[in-house]
Amino acid sequence: MNILIIPTNDWVRAPGHGHINYIAESLAEKGHKIYAWNFDLYKNEPVRRVPKKVVLVKSKTLPFRDAALFFTFNALFQAPSMFKAIRKFKINVIINENIFSGLISFLVSGNSVLKVFDYSDYFPESASIYYEKSSPTVRKVVEAVTLAINNLNIKAAHICLSVCQSFINNVRSIDSQKPCFFLSNSVDVVKHTRHMSLSNQLNLEQTDGNLSPTLIVMGVIDYWLDLITPLKAVKILSVKFPGIKFVIIGSWRNQEFKKSIESFIEKEELEDNVKITGYVSDDELVRYLDKASCCIMPYRTDFYSAVIRLPEKLFVYSAHGKPILSTPLPEVMSLHNEHVLFFHDAEELAKTASILLTDYDKWLRLSHKAKQFAQNHDVNILAEKLEKILLANLKK
C-alpha cells in the first residue's frame, strides 16, 4: 500500500506525537510505502524524533504562530500541493488525523483512494484550549466550528478508526452505517523494557532491596492535568517517606500554568521532593520510568475529554510494569485492569501509594499484570491489525 498520513501536528518537532506515528513506522518496516505530510508549525524548535522509513512530504506554509489559524489557512493554501503529492506517490490510502488539512486531502483525492479518518482526539476541546484566556462565547464558537468540521471528516471518510469506545459511539450517532474500528493507543514494548541505568544527574533516590519512593507523571503538560492533587499527596507522603520524589516529565504548553504549579511547590516547601524536567528524549523517558515505583494519570474530570480518554500514558506506564494511580476515567475503568488504581482526592492517592511502597508482593503482582496488558497493545500488534483493516477495505 502507498499510504499518506495527515498527522495531527509536526511529525518531528512537536512536543508530543500522534496516535498513528509509531504504528505507521511499523507498517513501513513491513514494506508499505508510508508518506507523512510535514507541518512546520514548530520550525524553530529542535528536531525531537527522526521518522523511521517514513517519507516526509514538504510543502510551503503560511506563517502563523496561532495553531488554529496555522492549520485552518494552510489547509486551503496547501490543497494544490496535496493534490499533486497524492498523484505523484500513487497514494491509495489516506489516514487523516488532522480535521483541517485532512478534510482537504479527502476532497482532492480520487475515488480509488481509501479515505480513513483517525478519530484520535476530541478536537473541539483540543482547539478551544488555545483560547483559555478568551471569553466563553469565543471558546464556544471555536468548539462549535471545530465540531462541525470534525463531523464533516466522519461523513467524508470511507472508514473511521477510534482510540476509544466513546468515539465509536460518536461516529455511529453521526452516521450509523459508517464502519468504525477500535485501534487503541500503542506502545513500543521492546523500547520501553530496555534496562538502562540512570546517571547521577537524574537525582532519583533508590534504596537497595526496597522500592524507590518515586512517583512520575509524563506527557504534554497543560490545564487538562490536575497536578495539585498529586502534589498535596506528596506533601502527605513526605512525612513517612522523607526522600519521596515526584517527577513531572514533558513539555509545558502554557507557561502561566507552569508558573502556578511552581508557585504551589514553593508555597508547600516541596522543592526537594519535586523535579520538573521539561521535554526529554525517548531514551531519557525510558530511564526515568524504569526507576519509578508508581506512575500517575491525574486528569481533570471537569473536561469532557476526561469522559473519553484512554490515554497513551496507560500503555507506556504498563510496558514498564508500573502500577498506575489514576483519576476515575470511564474509558480506563471499563477495562477493569487490576494494575490501575483510582483516586478521588489527595488523601486517597497518598494512602494507595503508601500501600504500594510498603507491600512489595502486591506491587510485584500488579507489575506483572501491567506488563501482560502492555503486550496486547504493542505497536507491532496494532500495526498488523491496522494492515488487515486497510487491506480489507481497500478491496471494497
pLDDT value of residue 391: 95
Task: Read off the pTM.
Answer: 0.83
Range of the domain at 235: 190-375
Same domain, 315 and 277: yes
Same domain, 153 and 241: no
Same domain, 114 and 195: no
Same domain, 301 and 384: no
- Cβ atoms of 186 and 23 within 8 Å: the answer is yes
Same domain, 36 and 179: yes
Same domain, 365 and 325: yes
How many other C-beta atoms lie within 10 A of the C-beta of residue 349?
27
Percent of the chain with pLDDT over 70: 94
User: Cell 478491496 identifies what position?
Assistant: 395
Same domain, 249 and 351: yes
pLDDT value of residue 211: 64
Per-residue pLDDT of 48-89, as tens digits, reads 788 889 999 988 888 877 777 788 888 888 899 999 999 999
Q: Does the pLDDT of residue 23 top 80, yes or no?
A: yes
pLDDT value of residue 205: 43
Per-residue pLDDT of 332-381, as tens digits, reads 999 999 999 999 999 999 999 999 999 989 999 999 999 999 999 999 99
Same domain, 384 and 319: no
- Going 61 to 63 to 67 to 71, the CA torsion angle's sign is negative
- CATH for 199: 3.40.50.2000
How many domains would you assign to the chain?
2
226: nearest Cα among 339, 322, 306:
306
76: which 3 cell numbers?
A: 486551503
Bridge partners, 396 (sequence order): none
Same domain, 138 and 248: no
188-193 long-range contacts (CB < 8 A, ≥24 apart) are 188/22, 188/319, 188/378, 188/379, 189/319, 189/374, 189/375, 189/378, 189/379, 191/282, 191/286, 192/286, 192/289, 192/316, 192/319, 192/320, 192/374, 193/319, 193/320, 193/371
CA distances from residue 33 to 55, 186, 277 in whole angstroms, order as listed:
8, 21, 36
* Rg value, the chain, Cα: 21
- In our burial notation (b when 16+ CB lie closer than 10 A, e otherwise), range 252-271 reads bbeeebbeebeeebeebebe
Q: Does the pLDDT of residue 239 top 80, yes or no?
A: yes
Same domain, 217 and 281: yes
**How confident is the model over 4-18, as a mean pLDDT?**
84
Same domain, 383 and 358: no
- Cβ atoms of 352 and 341 within 8 Å: the answer is yes
How many other C-beta atoms lie within 10 A of the C-beta of residue 201?
5
